[in-house]
Amino acid sequence: MKKTHKDTCGTSFHGDTIFISVEELINLLGEPQFQENDGNDKVNYYWDCETEDGELFTIYDWKEYRPISDFEKIEFHIGSFTKEISEKVKSNF
């Protein structure tokens, strides 16, 4: 898995989440493409990513509505084009 600059438009949530901290995600994926950790929007952090097979997915917090500590573990959503991709991504975390 790696961060990508490919267009992930059209990915959606298929019910899969990971319980992880922002710090851990940054260590794994690098800096997020979107970061506005003020709690004013539905999303504070957002990563566009792809699997080793080139399958696109996103990782993002959802409706925390508060600033998130870098070390606090929370549920992050996985967005993808299919449930199968979402499950594959989850199993790799």
Q: What is the DSSP letter of 30?
A: -
pLDDT tens-place string over residues 40-81: 999 999 999 999 999 999 999 999 999 999 999 999 999 999
Domain count, the chain: 1
- Model pTM above 0.85: yes
CA distance 35 to 15: 23
- At which residue do the structure tokens 């070390």 appear? 71
Distance separating alpha carbons of residues 92 and 72, to the nearest angstrom? 20
Domain residues for the domain of 67 are 2-91
Q: What is the pLDDT, as a whole number, of residue 1? A: 87
Q: Identify the pLDDT of residue 40.
A: 96
Q: What backbone torsions phi and psi does residue 87 show, to the nearest 5 degrees?
A: -65, -40
35 pLDDT band, cuts 50/70/90, is very high
CATH of the domain at 36: 3.30.310
Across the range 26-36, mean pLDDT stands at: 96
SS3 57: strand
